[in-house]
Chains A and B, each alone.
Chain A
Amino acid sequence: MPFPNVRLTNRPLHFIYICDCSGSMAAQGKMQALNQAIRQSLPGMVKVARDNPEARLLVRAVSFADKASWHISKPTAVEQLQWVDLQAGGITAMGEALELVATQLRSPPMEERALPPVLVLISDGQPTDDFDAGLKQLMNQMWAQKAVRLAIALGHDANMDVLQDFIGPYPQAGGQVGRSMQGVSTSARQPLQASNATALAQYIEWASTAVVGAASMPVSRTQGSASEGNIPLPDLPPTLIDPIEGIGPVVW
């Protein structure tokens, strides 16, 4: 006779992409790179969901350009998720996007008990609306305060200050060093700088697998591993050396 068919207790884990779809995202294939990166990351995300049965991983996405709207409005089990491409065009209503997320992090519709949500904000530019008002509304929600908030800066024109405000203050004393060493991000408590499609794909993969894993079920802990925040963040993926990056000007 088989082991009794008992259901394992689980809690929902809400994962929300907040994606910049302003006109500038159309340049240099950034929009396509982001769509590709998210689509490619899904099988890994499915595997993490399987490996963490105490979490019920549910994915949504917000896009923002002239206005913010739900790209995927229904919390969707990752196994059932089909990524429809985002389209670029318009300005950068980032504040409105955060307000939209805030409405969903209220209880209800948030469940009474859950795992910390994971919010991933991806942008290549400047907010054109009232970002501070949107952030304030978001951070009024308990679930937003508890959330793991990550930001990915696409290219070098993103406003790093607003992305840092979204993440929250960077821990100074005893924290990990520096925003970046030779253009390489060293801590996700600061915006992750994705200068090319490969780096973007790595960060999306990391956020949708390693971070989701850490928020679902604790991972093995060592002394000196990141302890700040309400979820210890896993190490960033090791960056493959790009022979052109970080060596200074190539021709002068």
Chain B
Amino acid sequence: MSTARKGVLASFEYLDSTVDSIKQLKAQGFDEITAFAPFPEHHIEHALGYGNSPVRLFTLVGGLTGMATGLAFTTFTAMDWPLVTGGKPILSIPAFVIPTFEMTILFGALFTVVGVFWNMRIPDIRSQVVYDPEFSSGRFGVYVTAAPERFDEARQILEAHAPARLQDDPEAEAHG
């Protein structure tokens, strides 16, 4: 965001006001919108138009890394000191499938968590910049930034939907 921009944050009591204001803002060409919600609300997500989350790539890469690691590790340790136990072959692949499977899940989960933190941009110390504590309770929020000449237009759109609270953000740094 360039520093010349200004932001405004509206808190809404009603879901339809939120969704309508987002749609109207988008129709008027305002694209720098961040919405706040107390839970994953698919109408809002739909209004903003989301594609696939890149988290799935993290999960896939993590799972494959884990599988490769598990298979390589069990194979390497068996070959490193070849010792026949229980009359089984040195490379007992069916037995190695189990640690390999567990490593797949473990790495997949760890990578997913790293991926989601990365994509959600947390940990984030800016959380209290422009925010309404009611967003985690019952209210929805719409935050929009615009160039100074169009800022009043954006603010009016939000105001028209009767927000419970309207906060100006001259720094325009609260996008998520």
- Whether A associates with B in a native complex is no
Query: Chain B interface (Cβ within 8 Å of chain A)?
Result: none
The residues of A with any CB-CB pair to B shorter than 8 Å are none
